[in-house]
Amino acid sequence: MTRRNIEGSFHLSGGDFTNAGAASSELKSILTNLGINPEIVRRAAIATFEAEMNVIIHAVAGVMYYLITQDTIKVVLNDMGPGIPDIDRAMTEGYSTAPDWIREMGWGAGMGLPNMKKNSDRFKLDSVVGEGTTVEIIIRIKEGKTE
Amino acid sequence: MTLGRVIEILEAEVVVDAIDREMEIRSICSSDLMSDLLHFSSRPKSILITGLNNTQAIRTAEIADIKGIVFVLDKRPDKETVRMAREKGIPLMVTRLSRFTACGRLYAAGLGSCTGEDR
Ligand SMILES: Nc1ncnc2c1ncn2[C@@H]1O[C@H](COP(=O)(O)OP(=O)(O)O)[C@@H](O)[C@H]1O
Ligand SMILES: [Mg+2]
């Protein structure tokens, strides 16, 4: 079965814990309703959820854009925020600059970026200090699982 | 084992009931930090044992396909957390046990870790 490309976007506000995760949750329903393999949906949901939470936790505002084609899920998160001075260090398991009150909310384990990378087939992180960060997540939809 | 059996073993109080207490639970995941949970929890049919009694735990369960949540040390979820769990169809339980003891009892009863690193 062929389907048209599906795309859309969500606006994200830094510090808005009431709606934190709502965008990833909605994207997850969209992917599930398309009949995509649950294992692939879960990987996409985890990677985008971590990326969405980083915007909520570390940035001021951002946009999550998604494009679902016949064979890939692509999610791009673009934020205005402090940026990441040392990307290699940020990618290290357990490294976090999140304050204690964020950890009391359940975040700040320093595993978010490694989790995004682990669940993506392609993962790109670009950042300009003082301007913002862009995360690109690409996940392949395996053949024959989408009909 | 069934969710009903998990509730018995943990002497838990049910705050948001499951549609089906006969639902099968195969593994446990446990942390108060959500990204630590998201790092594993790749095995389906798992239950979350946590001290984090807020909406972030519900979102994490939803995203990672976790079937139910047990809050330890009698930590009750607030109204908003209960509302979200109902909406997402995620059962919530509360036990007076600690995280260690809750996991230990379930492990002794035959449930493994959702990380798949033990059995
Ligand atoms: N969108 C972002 N804007 C600014 N800094 C970020 C962003 N995402 C990640 N970081 C930085 O990278 C660190 C590691 O990120 P991550 O692995 O997700 O862990 P955590 O979010 O738990 O701190 C963060 O603590 C923060 O310093
Ligand atoms: Mg993070």
Query: Where in chain B are the domains?
Result: 3-111
B80-89: which pairs have CB atoms within 8 A and are 24 or more residues apart?
Answer: B80/B55, B81/B53, B81/B54, B81/B55, B81/B57, B82/B15, B82/B16, B84/B55, B84/B58, B84/B59, B85/B15, B85/B16, B85/B58, B86/B16, B88/B58, B88/B61, B88/B62, B89/B19
What's the pLDDT band for B116 if we cut at 50, 70, 90?
confident
Q: Between A17, A46, A106, which is nearest B64 by CB? A: A46
pLDDT of residue B20 exceeding 80, the answer is yes
Average pLDDT over residues A3-27: 96
pLDDT of residue A147: 39
pLDDT of residue B118: 72
pLDDT tens for A127-139 read 999 999 999 999 9
CATH number at residue A51: 3.30.565.10
Q: Between B33, B63, B65, which is nearest A21 by CB? A: B63
Q: Which residue of A has its CA nearest to B64?
A: A42
> Is residue A146 included in any domain, yes or no?
no
Average pLDDT over residues B52-71: 96
Distances (CA, A) of A70 to A2, A38, A135, A142, B53: 7, 16, 22, 10, 39
Q: Cβ contact (<8 Å) for B35 and A50?
A: yes
Q: Cβ contact (<8 Å) for B56 and A21?
A: yes
> Is residue A1 included in any domain, yes or no?
no
pLDDT tens for A55-108 read 999 999 999 999 999 999 999 999 999 999 999 999 999 999 999 999 999 999
pTM comes to: 0.95
> Is residue A145 included in any domain, yes or no?
no
pLDDT of residue B119: 58
> Is any atom of ligand 1 closer than 6 Å to the C-beta of A133?
yes
Count up the domains in chain A and report the number.
1
Strand partners, A132: A80, A128
Residue A51 domain boundaries:
6-140
Q: Cβ contact (<8 Å) for B38 and A46?
A: yes
Decide if A81 touches B, using CB distance below 8 A.
Answer: no
pLDDT of residue B114: 87
> Is any atom of ligand 1 closer than 6 Å to the C-beta of A57?
yes
State in Å: Cα A82 to ligand 1 middle: 10
| Cβ B2 vs Cβ B109: under 8 Å | no
Q: Between B32, B59, B65, which is nearest A42 by CB? A: B65
Q: Which CATH architecture has domain B3-111?
A: 3-Layer(aba) Sandwich (3.40)
pLDDT of residue A2 exceeding 80, the answer is no
State ipTM. 0.93
Q: Cα distance from A22 to chain B (closest Cα, Å)?
A: 8
Stretch 21-50 of chain B: residues touching chain A, C-beta under 8 Å: 31-36, 38-39
